[in-house]
Structure 1
Amino acid sequence: MSDPLYPDDKQPPDREREHDEAVDNDEQPLLTHLVELRKRILRALLAIGIAFIPLMLFANVVYEWVAAPLMAHLPPGVTMIATEVASPFLTPFKLAAYGALILGMPLVLHQIWAFVAPGLYLREKKFAVPLLVSSIVLFYLGMAFAYFVVFPLAFGFFAATIPDGVTWMTDINSYLSFVIKIIIAFGIVFEIPIATMLIVLAGLSTPKKIARKRPYIVVGCFFIGMLLTPPDVISQVLLAIPAWILFELGILLSKMVFKPDEEAS
């Protein structure tokens, strides 16, 4: 409110100074957060870039390792093919990009954590670090399960069902898209225990209430398996069953960290 003794454009110097300081104090926290966010984003991109360079240099070797589960079930003398002109270059490039994102994920999550941690309460920090580390480990376990368990079983099933007179020749780009989709799907599904604990810790539900919805969750696991995997029974079942087991694990862990008196209240 202006002083009646002074026009609006001629306020006392001390009042003008107080107004300018208030504006500066409002702008400084925003600028500080933006600078911090920029620094964290650049570090995350740097981590991904550092992981991308060696993966791109050895992309063909990495692709051979990725293709090994399928190659083990191809008939003798049969190889994968490239149906597009640029596929021999673009496919390894895409593999290196996906691989860099996957390998750089812990550092990216660390930068996210470093940005949001100052605004968290002590109790939130107490649970955040174990949950963050566990989510990374579970995501990698999901990818490993897909590569070492799901792929051999699924490709063995596909090879056993090939009709007579049909040669199984897979395009390298189509195969990579298939593999990435399955690996990411299993990585996400293995986060179910973390999601369950977050729901409980956020006060949205309790372990008992979640357990009562078990029949719906089981049906949902098979429905998610149908959506996230190719239209074959093997992949769907191999995704749905671990999802169910991980759901039960999430309930068990939630009961361990959830106090009975809190649930009763």
Structure 2
Amino acid sequence: MGREEEKQSFWDHLDVLRGVLLRVFAVILLCGIVAFVFKEELFAFVLAPKYPGFVTYGVIADLCASFGIPYEMKTDVALINTGLAQQFIIHMKTAFCAGFLAASPYVVYQLFRFVSPALYARERKYAVGIVTSAYVMFITGAALSYLVIFPMTFQFLGTYQVSEDVVNMISLESYMSTMVMLSLCMGIVCEMPVLAWMLAKAGLLTPSMLVTYRRHAIVAILIAAAIITPTSDVFTLMLVSVPMCLLYEASITVAKLAARTVRASELKSETLGS
């Protein structure tokens, strides 16, 4: 089946897009309002990594104990507010982010539904796989940041002192901005296999290129992990770098699969042509 036979003018497409955006905005607003109302539950989730009882700290302590590695749990860090309206503004921003995250499956579906009529059936099939994979990988990266990377970063930087005379007073705004930044960064990093698939399908990337530069990539990953989580222990560095290395290895496997499908398609075309 080819593209949609019904031809629409530019203004018709614009009118359809306006309807899609209005529905998307309405769902995001509704989810944001719900998140805003449930303030206690929302910030209990957002502020959980600052407490010593956070689930990740317990898992790391148990793992370190099983391997005989000393692990010192730092005390929780108090957050402060430095602006008159800052807490209310942060509450609104956090509720909006939570609403957007909750509505994101609907947002992706509506946008894809708007674009899909312009695609052939085969293109639509690949697009569904790519969009779904990209969404799942981004959510996975954000979850990894919330559960591992941000707690480790906050525990180290939030309790780091150049002198006992200098007391840390972390602002709520700094806490939230760091969490959002790391979540976005890890979400983008986890798109590596999806990007490898797309580039390999387009012929711009080959598995041999990824294998050749594997050592360089590992060094870059270790440097990036050290920057993301500037802790002094090797265990935390490995905790962050190992998933990134696994993503790189997954990108090699995905690129190989994409290259095979391209070769199979070319052989099929040659066979039909002859």
Same fold (TM over 0.5): yes
Q: Which residue of the partner structure matches residue 112 of structure 2?
A: 113
Are the structure 2 counterparts of residues 237 and 99 from structure 1 closer, same or farther at C-alpha, using a change threshold of 3 Å? farther
Report the residue type matching 1:193 in the other structure: P
Deviation of the 1:81 alpha carbon: 0.9
Q: Which residue of the partner structure matches residue 19 of structure 1?
A: none
Q: Per-residue CA shift, 1:123-161, capped at 9, x if unaligned?
A: 222222122222221111111111112233333333664
**Conservation of the 8 A alpha-carbon contact between 2:159 and 2:168:** no
Deviation of the 1:207 alpha carbon: 2.2
Q: Which residue of the partner structure matches residue 88 of structure 2?
A: 89
> How do residues 1-265 of structure 1 correspond to structure 2 at under 5 angstroms?
28-72=8-52, 75=75, 79-158=78-157, 161-162=160-161, 163-222=163-222, 229=228, 240-259=241-260, 262=263
**Conservation of the 8 A alpha-carbon contact between 1:70 and 1:151:** no
**Conservation of the 8 A alpha-carbon contact between 1:196 and 1:247:** no
**Conservation of the 8 A alpha-carbon contact between 1:51 and 1:103:** yes
2 CA distance for matches of 1:236 and 1:46?
42
Are the structure 2 counterparts of residues 69 and 245 from structure 1 closer, same or farther at C-alpha, using a change threshold of 3 Å? same
Are the structure 2 counterparts of residues 233 and 120 from structure 1 closer, same or farther at C-alpha, using a change threshold of 3 Å? farther
1 CA distance for matches of 2:151 and 2:164?
22
**Higher relative contact order (Cα pairs below 8 Å, separated by 6+ residues):** 2
**Conservation of the 8 A alpha-carbon contact between 2:29 and 2:99:** yes
**Conservation of the 8 A alpha-carbon contact between 2:74 and 2:155:** no
In structure 1, the gaps of 5 or more residues are 1-26
2 CA distance for matches of 1:237 and 1:38?
47
Larger Rg: 1
Size of the alignment, in residue pairs? 237
Q: Name the % identity.
A: 29
Q: Per-residue CA shift, 1:36-58, capped at 9, x if unaligned?
A: 21122112212211211111112
Pairwise CA RMSD of aligned residues?
Answer: 3.0
Are the structure 2 counterparts of residues 101 and 224 from structure 1 closer, same or farther at C-alpha, using a change threshold of 3 Å? farther
Report the residue type matching 1:262 in the other structure: R
1 CA distance for matches of 2:158 and 2:16?
52
SS of the aligned residue for 2:167 comes to coil
**Conservation of the 8 A alpha-carbon contact between 2:201 and 2:262:** no
In structure 2, the gaps of 5 or more residues are 1-6, 53-72, 268-274
2 CA distance for matches of 1:260 and 1:32?
37
Q: Which residue of the partner structure matches residue 6 of structure 1?
A: none
1 CA distance for matches of 2:25 and 2:89?
21
TM-score (norm 1): 0.76
Q: Per-residue CA shift, 1:77-117, capped at 9, x if unaligned?
A: x6311011111211111111222222222221112211111
Report the residue type matching 2:250 in the other structure: L
